[in-house]
Amino acid sequence: MQTYKLIAPAKINLYLEIIGDRPDGYHELVMIVQSIDLADHLEIRPNGTQNFHLICSHPQVPTDETNLAYRAAQLMKQEFSKAFANYGGVDITIDKRIPVAAGLAGGSTDAAGVLVGLNLSWELGLTLPELQQLGQKLGSDVPFCLAGGTVIATGRGEKLDPIEDLENLWVVLAKYKSLEVSTPWAYQTYRKQFGQEYISDRPGVQSRTLKVHSGPLVQAISHKDKTKIGQLLHNDLEKVVLPEHPQVNHLRNILQQSGGLGTMMSGSGPTVFTLCQSQEEAETIKNKAKLVISDPNLEFWVTRLSSTGIKVIS
Query: What is the dihedral sign for C-alpha 281, 286, 291, 292?
Result: positive
Widest pairwise Cα distance in the chain: 58
The yes or no reply on residue 20 touching ligand C5P (CB under 6 A) is no
Q: Is position 230 an interface residue for ligand C5P (rule: CB under 6 A)?
A: no
139 three-state secondary structure: coil
Our answer to whether residue 137 is catalytic in this structure is no
- The answer to whether 236 is a known catalytic residue is no
**Residue 269 near ligand C5P by CB under 6 A:** no
Interface pattern 179-208 for ligand C5P (x via CB under 6 A): ----xx--x---------------------
DSSP lists the bridge partners of residue 44 as 4, 92
Q: Which is nearer to ligand C5P, 27 or 45 (CB)?
A: 27
Contact 241, 268 (CB under 8 A): yes
Least Cβ distance, residue 56 to ligand C5P (angstroms): 19
> What SS3 string covers 78-126?
HHCHHHHHHHCCEEEEEECCCCCCCCCCHHHHHHHHHHHHHHHHCCCCC
Q: Does 71 bind ligand C5P (CB under 6 A)?
A: no
Nearer to ligand C5P, 26 or 87 (CB): 26
Side chain identity at 231, as an amino acid letter? Q
Q: Quickly count: other Cβ atoms within 10 Å of residue 64's Cβ.
A: 8
Q: Does 110 bind ligand C5P (CB under 6 A)?
A: no
Catalytic residue among 40, 110, 141, 165: 141
Residues 113-142 binding ligand C5P (CB under 6 A) are 139-141
Residues within the interface to ligand C5P (CB under 6 A)? 26-27, 29, 139-141, 156-157, 183-184, 187
Q: Which residues are catalytic?
A: 11, 141
